[in-house]
């Protein structure tokens, strides 16, 4: 039986396993999906060697960037983004792709207001790279915020009223607010948000994170990451099955 899976560090509440199990049953596909919790990325080659029927993998936190040196080949757009979250395994050869950018771009498109020019991305991990890539492709100026900012990035202490006014789109790519730590949230001045703002959280569990709840209180449009995940899952399936 063909095998597909997900690699990450903590996967107990992952979306992918249930999604693909339902897909396989509904479409009568003779395959199974398995979560692979890896304590370190160094275990990755062992997963491949122990599962010769493995044809495709999704990749999640915290391995989207550190997986790259372990792959035989990386798709040009994933290489440009610097992040891989989908792997095709063909004749023992691993090829990395990025579906974060496409999934995010397609899911946010209906919500982007005409004239929206700048986006603030909270977080600098693998997902943030794909989000930044997708938004730049649509013509938006993008700035990343980090607890330890590098050149060209903002520190959270620099996100003041002027910054909130300047960035009408704010995307949370950090795990803050994700189940089970539902009370946490990015440290930004929510009091300056307005109905002109769009807040997007890549988290889907819970459906309304504290980040989104606080934005909603101020009249902002809020979107979670569930539709993005569904789009990504189908994109990965196409990658895996050719």
146, with CB counted inside 10 A (0-12, 13-18, 19+), is middle
The Cβ of residue 183 has, within 10 Å, a number of other Cβ atoms equal to: 9
Whole-angstrom distance, CA of residue 185 vs CA of residue 174: 9
- Tokens matching residue 81: 């983004």
Instruction: Say how far residue 12 (Cα) sits from the centre of its chain.
Output: 17
Contacts of 54 (CB under 8 A, 6+ apart): 3, 4, 5, 47, 48, 89
**Closest by Cα among 87, 21, 89, 27 to 60:** 87
Give catalytic residue positions.
Answer: 64
Whole-angstrom distance, CA of residue 175 vs CA of residue 127: 10
**Closest by Cα among 75, 82, 33 to 57:** 33
Sheet of 2-8, strands arranged across: 31-37, 2-8, 54-59, 86-90, 93-97, 73-74
Whole-angstrom distance, CA of residue 202 vs CA of residue 131: 10
Whole-angstrom distance, CA of residue 31 vs CA of residue 25: 9
């Amino acid at each position: 039986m063909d095998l597909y899976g997900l690699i990450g560090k903590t996967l107990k509440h992952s979306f992918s396993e249930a999604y693909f199990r339902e897909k396989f049953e509904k479409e009568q596909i003779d395959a199974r999906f398995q979560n692979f919790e890896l304590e370190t990325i160094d275990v990755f080659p062992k997963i491949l060697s122990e599962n010769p029927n493995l044809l495709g993998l999704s990749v999640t936190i915290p391995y989207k960037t550190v997986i790259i040196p372990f792959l035989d080949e990386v798709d040009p757009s994933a290489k440009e983004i610097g992040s891989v979250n989908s792997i095709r395994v063909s004749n023992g050869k691993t090829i990395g792709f990025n579906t974060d950018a496409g999934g995010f771009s397609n899911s946010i498109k209906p919500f982007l207001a005409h004239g929206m020019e700048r986006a603030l991305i909270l977080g600098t991990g693998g997902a943030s790279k794909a989000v930044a890539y997708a938004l730049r492709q649509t013509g938006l100026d993008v700035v990343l915020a980090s607890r330890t900012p590098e050149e060209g990035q903002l520190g959270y202490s620099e996100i003041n009223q002027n910054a909130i006014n300047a960035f009408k789109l704010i995307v949370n790519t950090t795990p803050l607010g994700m189940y089970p730590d539902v009370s946490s949230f990015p440290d930004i001045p929510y009091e300056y948000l307005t109905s002109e703002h769009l807040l997007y959280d890549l988290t889907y569990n819970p459906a309304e994170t504290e980040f989104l709840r606080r934005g909603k209180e101020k009249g902002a449009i809020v979107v979670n990451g569930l539709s993005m995940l569904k789009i990504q899952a189908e994109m990965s399936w196409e990658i895996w099955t050719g």
